[in-house]
Structure 1
Amino acid sequence: MPAQRSARTSLTSGRPKEARLRGASLVSVCIHSFNHAPFLPTAIESVLAQTYPHVEVVIVDDGSTDKSLEVARGYAARFPGRVKVFTHDGNAHRGIPATANLAVQKSGGPYWCGLSSDNAFVPDKVERQVAFLEEHPEVGIVYGPAKVIDATGHVLGFTFVRDLSREPDALPALLEGNCLQGQTVMLRRECLQKVGLEDENLTYSDWELWIRIAAHYKVAFLPGPVAYYRVHTTNTSVEQPLEVQRERHLEVMRTIEAKAPVIGGGLARPFNRAMVKLHLAYLYFCAADPDSAARAISAALEIEPAVLLDYRFLAGWLIRRQREVALFTRSEARDYIGWFTEYATAHVPPGMRRTGSLDPIWRLKFALLLGKYGFVVRQLLRRGELLLDALRAGRQ
């Protein structure tokens, strides 16, 4: 949950600054617009007000029934050549993946950003991210945190996102869940040329796309907010039943499982393919399908038996399932930890049994214990730090 802070902010105040970058690469900002007429001007103006001037705004209206298309065309008339507006054939409503894909096809910059019509950019987002990508050619995606705002633009707090640059490899972390918020991302067009566009059969198509890109490119995190995420009564991605969210997660993992041989790159490595199976096992278990979960774990051990030897990683993964995943109840996560360790204990290959040292499963159980109580200690220390900060502030 975002920290509860309240302050008024002007999302697009001030005139654009002169760009401080040497290059002049075009950045395509693709806005997928659907029934957000009150918020669309803020989204568009936040792009036009970027401190980096070489930006094109490509708006695709997804069959809006309010005045969104009229608003978008008004900006296209005021900024000809810089703001472009498109619709699906017959003004059809085709969903976010198809709308995002059409926007990519209608854009031409070597760098690409997506933006929902109810969100916005901070003024220097594009400048900072272009500078980073130009300095780090090995990176395919760069992202950062966002400020959370309400319908009127009041800042409520910040999104807490996982810093994948701290990971040895971003791919296993992305397989766990979608750490990247779409409006905070900038990627190279060459990534899309290599791995393809969003899968229009998936609701969580952006997550699946990030996974495909992370299989071939590095993912980088920039500290400091780069976008505004708006919470309002007509958000389409919130308040979905847990069962629906579970099924959408399963759709992504099944799709990655099927595509892995074609995607290649990091998904060709046995460890990552085994992790896909373990994620499927967790999702099946929480969906009350232990038989499918057992088959998925068996498949994981068949692909990479040594996955059980990386007990520190497994312990962290299992603890994160209990601590971070909001889709499932904590009791389900706790039950899965016990079920997983019991099942894995019964299926440790004989060659992996240790003599004179702890079995891998006992190592895992020990690491789980340390991870669980280590988290509690870290939380207590953090609360102590916050209390000291409050006391110091009160004395000033």
Structure 2
Amino acid sequence: MELNEMSELVSVIVPMYNHARYIQQCLDSVYNEDYPNIELIIIDDGSNDESVEVAKKWRESHQGKFHRFHIETQENQGICKTLNRLVSIAEGEYIVLLASDDYLIKGGIEAKVSALKKNPQWLAVFSDAILIDPDSNIVSHSAIEYYNVNRYALQFTNLMAQQIIMFWTPPMQIMVFKKKAFNPIIGVGLYDETMCFEDRDMCLRLLAKQAYGFIDTRAYAYRVRIRQEVTPGVDTNSKRKDFHIISGKVFSHFSGINNLFLRAQYQSYVDRSKNKIYFYFWRLLMLILRGYYYFQLKYKQHFSQNAKYN
């Protein structure tokens, strides 16, 4: 397909680390996308396998498809610093984050870019995804269903925020951003480089600005690590600590039940070893708030269904 300069440029950014086994499948999916104006940017974060060699060899026979195809390497910096570097050199109006062991589903970029155009208040949009295992076998045809996310709630800004805050953080890989989302004045800023993982902090900042949307389509193949809780190289304790620190950082930007839940989540971590009574109080409050969320969700669903038949 010839490049169509009338379409806004989309930057597909790929943080790569030790994925020589998967990077060709990842890049093939970008090549097979039907969006006509793409730049592809890869930063290898200190891989010690043949990831860089595989990517460069692939570029030799495929780079003509792209507006620009850039590969660079660096010593290991971690995911947040690598993403910020990728964002800083991206030239597109829209940014697609693609993990080097995942792949795009054809048509997904167009669907998400179209949704962002139709909803100017959104700075980012996420979608459903299929889940694949390390051998690329399909684990589930729907991440939404696999993680027991209420699809109905994602249609409403307030319910979606509560669903994400209390139960599930969409992986950043299933999102498309407007480039201005990373502007600290008109957007939410770059990734916090003090964090050991990228998803939740960015997601909550977007929710706080009411600039986050959902489209009900499968646009991405996300590789899950069966029986492995966290990303390789990130220990469970560090992720748990950062998870609660994030809640403490952002709770003041929310109101009502969201503010209360995030505050309780943070305080339960602070008080876990200092004051067991307070710790159990905060945990109980979180349980009550989750129950209240389920009640209002079922109430809304019930009356929505009744309205259809009246």
TM-score by length of 2: 0.77
Range moving further from structure 2, 27-36 or 170-179: 170-179
Residue from 119, 140, 143 that aligns with 1:159? 143
Distance change (3 Å), C-alpha of 1:221 and 1:233: closer
The 5 Å alignment of 1:1-396 reads: 24-78=7-61, 79=63, 81-88=67-74, 92-157=75-140, 158-160=142-144, 161-163=149-151, 164-168=154-158, 170-193=160-183, 194-231=187-224, 237-238=230-231, 243-256=237-250, 260=252, 267=253, 269=255, 272-283=258-269, 290=276, 293=279, 317-319=289-291, 371=295
Which amino acid in 2 is paired with 1:50? E
Shift of 1:256: 2.7
Shift of 1:136: 1.4
Which amino acid in 2 is paired with 1:248? D
Distance change (3 Å), C-alpha of 1:76 and 1:110: same
Counterpart-to-counterpart distance in 1, 2:206 and 2:134? 33
Any conservation in 1 of the 2:229–2:236 contact (CA below 8 Å)?
Answer: no
Counterpart-to-counterpart distance in 2, 1:215 and 1:206? 14
Percent of aligned pairs sharing the same letter: 21
Number of matched residues?
283
Shift of 1:275: 3.5
Counterpart-to-counterpart distance in 2, 1:295 and 1:32? 41
Deviation per residue, 1:100-154 (Å, 9 max, x gap): 1111111111111111110111011101111111111122221111111123322
Counterpart-to-counterpart distance in 2, 1:234 and 1:76? 34
Counterpart-to-counterpart distance in 1, 2:229 and 2:28? 22
Which amino acid in 2 is paired with 1:211? L
Shift of 1:228: 0.6
Deviation per residue, 1:198-237 (Å, 9 max, x gap): 0011023221012112222432211121111123589783
Distance change (3 Å), C-alpha of 1:97 and 1:162: farther
- Unmatched runs of 5 consecutive residues or more in structure 2: 303-310
Counterpart-to-counterpart distance in 2, 1:233 and 1:70? 28
Distance change (3 Å), C-alpha of 1:202 and 1:292: farther
Distance change (3 Å), C-alpha of 1:130 and 1:292: same
Higher fraction of helix: 1
Shift of 1:241: 6.8
Any conservation in 1 of the 2:79–2:197 contact (CA below 8 Å)?
Answer: no
Any conservation in 1 of the 2:272–2:279 contact (CA below 8 Å)?
Answer: no
Counterpart-to-counterpart distance in 2, 1:206 and 1:94? 17
TM-score by length of 1: 0.62
Which amino acid in 2 is paired with 1:214? L
Counterpart-to-counterpart distance in 2, 1:224 and 1:270? 31
Any conservation in 1 of the 2:101–2:223 contact (CA below 8 Å)?
Answer: yes
Counterpart-to-counterpart distance in 2, 1:76 and 1:32? 16
Distance change (3 Å), C-alpha of 1:87 and 1:286: same
Any conservation in 2 of the 1:118–1:230 contact (CA below 8 Å)?
Answer: yes
Distance change (3 Å), C-alpha of 1:241 and 1:101: closer
Compare relative contact order (CA 8 Å, sep 6+) and give the higher one, 1 or 2. 2
Deviation per residue, 1:336-395 (Å, 9 max, x gap): xxxxxxxxxxxxxxxxxxxxxxxxxxxxxxx69x95xx89xx9xxxxxxxxxxxxxxxxx
Deviation per residue, 1:18-44 (Å, 9 max, x gap): 99xx96111111100000001001111
Shift of 1:284: 5.0
Shift of 1:195: 1.8
Counterpart-to-counterpart distance in 1, 2:14 and 2:150? 25
Range moving further from structure 2, 269-278 or 123-132: 269-278
Shift of 1:87: 2.1
Deviation per residue, 1:141-199 (Å, 9 max, x gap): 21111111123322121312454333436444443354312221011111111221100
SS in 2 for 1:116: coil
